[in-house]
Amino acid sequence: MPHTMLRSPDREPRTENPKLLLLLPLSLLPLLSSCDSDPSSTPDADAASEVQPDSSADVEPEVAPDVVEEAEVEEEAEAEVAPLVCSDHNGISADTEIAGSGPTLVEYRGYIGTEAPYQVLRVQIMGDNVGAVEPGVYDLAGTTFDTCEVCVSVLAGCAVGPCAQFFYPVSGTVEITAVGDEGDRFAAHLSDLEMAEFEILPDGIATEPLPDGEDWCVADYEFDLVAASTHDAICARPTVPCLGETLLDFSLESCATGEMVPMSSLAAGNKALVFSMVTGWCPYCAEWMARMVGYQTTYADQGLAAAYVYGENVSGGPRPTLDDCLAYADRYGAAHEDFYLDHDGTYSFSTTTYAMWPWLVTSDTMGLPWATIIDAETWEYVYTNQADPDNSEFESTMLGLLAP
């Protein structure tokens, strides 16, 4: 079956390629709609006593003012080296660390927490900067996702889907000590990092400070890892299920009711759950819809469940309505309760592609219609159709799960 091709974005999940919102995320670009002090010396006590004026001499002592001035200098020096203290968050200690390197992205991620909601510190080199950034010290003051050469950020309140908070540097430096291709070291040292909370603007890339937002200080942080491939690094993230791994539960908006439905509920009593990602503009989705509705008619009694994820209208564009989604279902005679809307107002399929990493290392692309098979009894991600354009493997995998 021909596929409408989509280029992999970087998320937090998709996090993980050109500047985006993975930011897939994983910081996030949209899916492309294409069918294809040194201390001052102080006189010691003995030396000072040698130059003290005779107490009987008729002179005005000038020692006190000098002492006061020296004390003031010492206080100022102490203030300059005082540790950074933010009112909201101070310091980071990662529970899980990964590093990856590819043609369009070199990144480090330090995860704080292993279950949602978690936080993550990211150090990224993206796009045209890959290969151009060499070891050295880089000023982070005022850098955000749309302006950075070496991009440093902290994401907080993360689960399946976009994170709740984004922090970018107000001041600080990063010293890159090693950077290279897959199999090479990626090492860096962050110093005096003060970060402010930002909001992501509707284009998904630009940012601006969030009024009354929180702050985050990281006085000292360093890492030194051997970089895997970008794909392997993404799949090593504790929050991004890839092919062969067990999914985390996630919810989508029911087109029939407008309510958020946990996808794990679809697995109850079934053996195989198929997710199909479709849009109104994709010419090959029509063929797939007819085929999938036929599968449902034939195998529903044997434990087959389906979830159709609708992301865009005929012309792409803004977030579809629930009525748009139901009209699409009616076009193919599919049950309304099997349809779900996935568009966060900026990105289509923003939750689904976080929950089930669709891109494979061999091509860095995926296609629409995109189909995934989940073992409904174990919640394991067992198939994605990028590996099988003619869908013969899809059918054999599905029937294998449905067998008595």
Domain assignment present for residue 380? The answer is: yes
Model confidence at 12: pLDDT above 80: no
Same domain, 130 and 217: yes
Same domain, 282 and 372: yes
pLDDT of res. 389: 57
pLDDT of res. 54: 39
> 188 or 80: whose pLDDT is higher?
188
Model confidence at 29: pLDDT above 80: no
> 233 or 324: whose pLDDT is higher?
324
Domain finish residue from 211, 236, 261: 236
* Range 149-163 average pLDDT: 87
Same domain, 276 and 214: no
> 112 or 72: whose pLDDT is higher?
112
Model confidence at 59: pLDDT above 90: no
Same domain, 324 and 225: no
Same domain, 223 and 165: yes
pLDDT interval class at 310 (50, 70, 90)? very high
pLDDT of res. 37: 31
Model confidence at 391: pLDDT above 50: yes
Same domain, 159 and 228: yes
Domain assignment present for residue 315? The answer is: yes
Domain assignment present for residue 36? The answer is: no
Domain finish residue from 194, 210, 236: 236
Residue 377, token pair as written in the block: 């009894």
Same domain, 259 and 396: yes
Token look-up 């491939």 returns 229
How does DSSP assign 100-168, residue by residue? EE-SSEEEEEEEE-SSSSEEEEEEEEEGGGTTT--SEEEE-TT--TTT-SSEEEEEEEEBSBS-SEEEE
Domain count, the chain: 2
Same domain, 257 and 225: no
pLDDT of res. 45: 27
CA 66 to chain centre: 56
Model confidence at 185: pLDDT above 90: yes
pLDDT of res. 332: 93
Q: Which of 262-266, 282-286, 316-320 has the lowest mean pLDDT?
A: 316-320
User: Ranked by mean pLDDT, which of 27-36, 277-286, 314-323 comes out on top?
Assistant: 277-286
pLDDT interval class at 82 (50, 70, 90)? low
Same domain, 269 and 355: yes
pLDDT of res. 49: 27
pLDDT of res. 361: 54
Q: Which of 167-176, 250-259, 297-306, 339-348 has the lowest mean pLDDT?
A: 339-348
* Range 171-177 average pLDDT: 97
Global pTM?
0.64
Domain assignment present for residue 55? The answer is: no
Domain of 316: which CATH number? 3.40.30.10
Print the domain residue range for 232.
89-236
* Rounded-to-integer distance, Cα 243 and Cα 383, Å: 7
Domain assignment present for residue 82? The answer is: no
* Dihedral sign from CA coordinates of 397, 398, 401, 404: negative
pLDDT of res. 161: 66
Same domain, 230 and 280: no
pLDDT interval class at 213 (50, 70, 90)? very high
* Rounded-to-integer distance, Cα 387 and Cα 196, Å: 42
Same domain, 300 and 341: yes
pLDDT of res. 378: 95
Instruction: Give burial (CB, 10 Å; 0-12/13-18/19+) of 208.
Output: exposed
Domain assignment present for residue 243? The answer is: no
> 81 or 233: whose pLDDT is higher?
233
Domain assignment present for residue 387? The answer is: yes
pLDDT interval class at 365 (50, 70, 90)? low
Q: Give the rounded percent of residues in the chain with a pLDDT score beyond 70.
A: 75
Model confidence at 46: pLDDT above 70: no
Same domain, 264 and 217: no
Model confidence at 1: pLDDT above 70: no
Domain finish residue from 207, 236, 265: 236
Model confidence at 80: pLDDT above 60: no
Domain assignment present for residue 382? The answer is: yes
pLDDT of res. 33: 32
* Rounded-to-integer distance, Cα 230 and Cα 361, Å: 8
- Indicate the average pLDDT of the chain: 79
